[in-house]
Amino acid sequence: MYRISALPVLFSCLLFTGARAQIPSPAKVFTQADTLRGSVTPERAWWDVIRYDISIAPDYEKKSLSGVNRIGFRVLQAGRTMQIDLQEPMQIQSVSLSEKQLTPTKPPIPANPSPSAKPLTPGKPLPFTRKGNAFFVEFPDSLPVGATGTLFIAFGGHPREAVKPPWDGGWIWTRDEQGRPWMTVTCQGLGASVWYPCKEYQGDEPDSGASLAVTVPDTLVAVANGKLQEKKNNGDGTATYTWAVVNPINNYCLVPYIGKYIDIRDAFTGGKGRLDVDYWVLDYNRTKAKTYMRPEAFRMLRCFEYWFGPYPFYEDGYKLVDAPYVGMENQSAIAYGNRYEPGYLGRDQSGTGWGKKWDFIIVHESGHEWFANNITAADLSDWWIHEGFTTYSEVLFTGYYYGKQAGDAYSIGLRKHILNDEPVIGPYGVNYDGTQDAYYKASNMIHNIRQIIGDDTLFREILRGLNQAFYHRTVTTREIEQYISTQAKRDFSKVFDQYLRSAKVPVLEYRIENGKLSYRWTNCVKGFDMPVKIRFGRTLSQRTQSRETQSGEARWIQPGEEWKSDYPDKSGNSVTEKTTAFSVDPNFYINIKKLD
């Protein structure tokens, strides 16, 4: 998800100071509800989600939902109280588990269950209690370890309505340009439990995928993740569209889109062969979508398959879906609302001009297919893994098509949005997504790491390796950090500590005395010793060009917290000329301070 435009006034004020200022952040106060939402509670720890099969019927006029979620689960350890999350004012109406559904070994679960199969018969209702947004279901006895079962949860109510989607999310009940109903939901950060009952924890995705059956008036079309399994006319003025994914999926990415859609079918030949590509657009967008979508989507796929490896969800296809808000990374069904024009609603977030040469939403939100949907942060506090790498995908895209210098300029241009208000990684276990520096500061940290590695072939191997090593997995920052350090054969732990676990921007202090350069790091975490590339040498008068240039090759220094020294030439001799000059490669996100 892209968050910057939610705060246009704030960012205009920070345009020239955001990259340097350290803005104090008010202390966060967390409640028991935050812990129930964001941690592995005892009532969550004993069971693992296998699959979600959701059926819903939204009522546009009443702004309400009714539905059933069949949660397939596996017992990991003895337990009898199960936490199920559903946010107020939505209600769970009944919960049941048929004894016939409980088996001592893992049964084969079809990847694409037939929507016309006879529904499973619920058994005896199970009692449950509610504590805020968490329900606690009680089983008569502890379930046997290794058993699998299906929980039937009937639910309904009026879900929270979105205020300013996607940033302030919920259900969206709006109308298209021709006045027809248009519905969907946005819930990243807010949580999927805003509209359906689930295990609201990013670290437990449904291993065998999910299905979503949506019943709507037969004048409308329902689109969702994955591939369409069946369209069924119900004979009562409604139709049911059943969609399914075979791969694990984030709770918040599982969403329906309901409107007057038509499908433009396409196909891309990529790293795993044929990839089904579809553009589900409102009928009046047919003509411009046909000419605009394909080149933009294919450019993105070519670039990201080069840098990150094959698209992670070939089995589920890739599609862009018209949405009544700017965009969202819904897995295999990217929400698109960027007005069919380059830039981000016509703007370039970097201020360099490069960002107006490509469609921001198609690039950024699709980048999340690799970083967020394929590799998912188990705890929301590690969401920089989603947003930092995906923001950096914009840099890679720019460099891939317009040259590395263009990509570098784009990365540097994004720094004006960095707030340095608090550490990028906040407290764990409380569903805390913290600061938007998870986008720009984390991206510039990755840019630093790329400079230090100094070998784009190796850097590319690391990015592709991440998507292989953590394929369809949930991860932690430590796992990402250790993987990069191991593959690069360099310890980047202090770089991660500095840029993610601290709100400080490291300051490179230096002074030049009698031609000798002395330098050190300040405003840094203990032990910070990141190397940087510099130029240090005499300035030479170029009278014919009326300017001065700096002599000396670019070189690396590795400052520490104590003073170190260097000289402008290899002889090791100091130089007395006052024209000795010093500069730092601007690709490093640091502050520089000259001391007299």
Write down all domains in the chain, each with its CATH number in brackets. Answer: 7-26+376-500 (1.10.390.10), 37-257 (2.60.40.1730), 507-594 (2.60.40)
Burial of 544 (0-12, 13-18, 19+ CB in 10 A): exposed
Contact criterion met (CB below 8 Å) for 395 and 332: no
Per-residue pLDDT of the chain (596 residues; tens, 9 = 90+): 765 543 332 333 333 233 333 334 455 678 888 888 889 999 999 999 999 999 999 999 999 999 999 999 999 999 999 999 999 999 999 999 975 556 554 333 333 433 333 333 347 899 999 999 999 999 998 989 999 999 999 999 999 999 999 999 999 999 999 999 999 999 999 999 999 999 999 999 999 999 999 999 999 999 999 999 999 999 999 999 999 999 999 999 999 999 999 999 999 999 999 999 999 999 999 999 999 999 999 999 999 999 999 999 999 999 999 999 999 999 999 999 999 999 999 999 999 999 999 999 999 999 999 999 999 999 999 999 999 999 999 999 999 999 999 999 999 999 999 999 999 999 999 988 789 999 999 999 999 999 999 999 999 999 999 999 999 999 999 999 999 999 999 999 999 999 999 999 999 999 998 888 999 999 999 999 999 999 987 654 444 444 444 555 789 999 999 999 987 655 555 444 455 788 999 999 999 999 98
Residue with tokens 């924890």: 201
Q: Cβ contacts of residue 538 below 8 Å, gap of 6+?
A: 550, 551, 552, 568, 575, 577, 579, 580, 581
d(CA 73, CA 50): 5
CB atoms within 10 A of CB 426: 20
Its pTM surpasses 0.85: yes
What tokens does 326 get?
A: 């700017």
Contact criterion met (CB below 8 Å) for 331 and 373: yes
d(CA 67, CA 426): 35
220-237: b (≥16 Cβ within 10 Å) or e: bbbbbbbbbbeeeeeeee
CA atoms within 13 A on the CB side of 275: 20
d(CA 591, CA 523): 10
Residue 434: alpha-carbon gap to chain centroid: 14
The predicted structure's pLDDT at residue 109 = 38
